[in-house]
Amino acid sequence: MTTELAESSRDVIDVMISYNPADVEHVRHLAGALRAEGLSVWFSDMDNPNLGDTGQAVSQCKVFVLVLSEKSACDPQCKDELALAYITDSSIFPVGLQRFRDLGPLLDCGMKLMLAKINWTFFVKPEDFEKNFPGLLSGIQNGIESSGDKSFPIDEDNPFQFLNSLSHVTVEETDENLQDFWPRNFGDKREVSWVNFKNAFVKDYGEEIEESYTEENLNQRFFVNVIYKDIFDLRKEIKRDMYDQFCDGNPQGDPHCFYSRLQEYARGLYAMKEVFNMDSTLRLTVVQNLGKFSTPAVVARLLEMMSDQDPNIRAVTAIALARSNARSKKSLSKLMKALEDEDRLVRESACFALGFLQAASAVEAIADRWRNDPISHVRTAASEALKMMDNEEARKCVHMTEVLTGEMQSLRTEESK
């Protein structure tokens, strides 16, 4: 096991470095300098790659450093790792080995969106390292000091909760006398039509979007669709309460709070789609690790993946839902349906998940698995799940299973005589 992999066993990693193997010598130099400052640093050695450890390191690190070159800018794994770091609320620091004018055209719209307005550090020439490393180190140290527990309490009734947890929001300097978007356009109205809302948004921000985002898939239409489909749930009438929920009351009095949070939501949306994508290099690891990030957006994607074609994904997703403490009716319903899955590992995982969540409504269904499942591992999982539940019905079922188990063992003993 290399030094880099050995450090992955720590519960929390200060810095995780993402890179393309072609740049490994630059990474080793950077890692050595950071370690000399007393920081724990993890990066996967190209001679001993381990995707599972990589995903775990991204999820656990306080600071995520992305070393960008012509190779890594087009590397799917670097993109996947960036997306996972974004979702799990790591402070992100891009380190460019070429000038931005050379790297920028190579970044796809998702990477550009996630790296927008983040302070870059450039090590283009050998002398740049001594000159620019102190600034990078200071930023990393600040990122480590400000990092907290990378898990969030869940409120499945608030789909925008994850926006409150992300640390990447940038508030522009604005005219303090300028009103917020809603009162600026609609005064005291408590409800406006979607058409009026859309027109007001395009009037205020359409030109800025076209100047800031030039990619084919990242334009004015993209942001309007996100507002209509994701934020306002295809409603023809937009209520002020829905707007306020998305803006979270705008406690800082930012007149552009809606647009700032819209951009943050779009970044999160891109990141979420990236890490759960069928082609993601970290997909299985992501599902395993994101269970502890109990945001409504993550839970919603996990629920979708309970219908994945791959039984391994369904099984791991069931456990991830339990780790996320997803106790809504929809979550429990998905897990109970999984008790009837054709794959025995999925049924087993669903039993453990429902037991961990102490889902009283699932006691009868789990007991049925114990009585009727043809696979002994599933029956054992069902029995253990019942023992996890602290309610009278579960205790009765546990007592009955113990009695019946004792009777069957007694019959086997008599038969062998």
Q: What's the pLDDT tens digit per position in 150-208?
A: 444 444 455 454 444 444 434 444 454 578 899 999 999 999 999 999 999 999 999 88
Paired with 61 in beta bridges are: 13
CA quadruple 6, 12, 17, 18: dihedral sign:
positive
Architecture of domain 173-255: Orthogonal Bundle (1.10)
Q: List, in order, residues 6 or more apart from 178 with CB less than 8 Å away.
A: 184, 255
For residue 20, the cross-strand partners are: none
Closest of 172, 151, 170 to residue 162, by C-alpha: 151
pLDDT at 147 > cutoff 80: no
CATH 1.10.3720.10 fits domain 306-416: no
Q: Give me 125's structure tokens.
A: 């020439």
Long-range contacts of 99-107 (CB under 8 A, 24+ apart): 99/124, 102/70, 103/68, 103/69, 103/70, 103/73, 106/70, 106/73, 106/74, 107/73
What does the domain layout of the chain look like in residue ranges?
A: 3-146, 173-255, 306-416
Helix residue ranges per DSSP H, 248-362: 257-276, 283-290, 296-305, 311-323, 329-338, 344-356
Question: Each residue of 335-380: pLDDT tens digit?
Answer: 999 999 999 999 999 999 999 899 989 999 998 898 889 998 998 8
CA distances from 103 to 24, 52, 119, 203 (A): 18, 28, 15, 32
Tell me which fold the domain 3-146 belongs to: Rossmann fold (3.40.50)
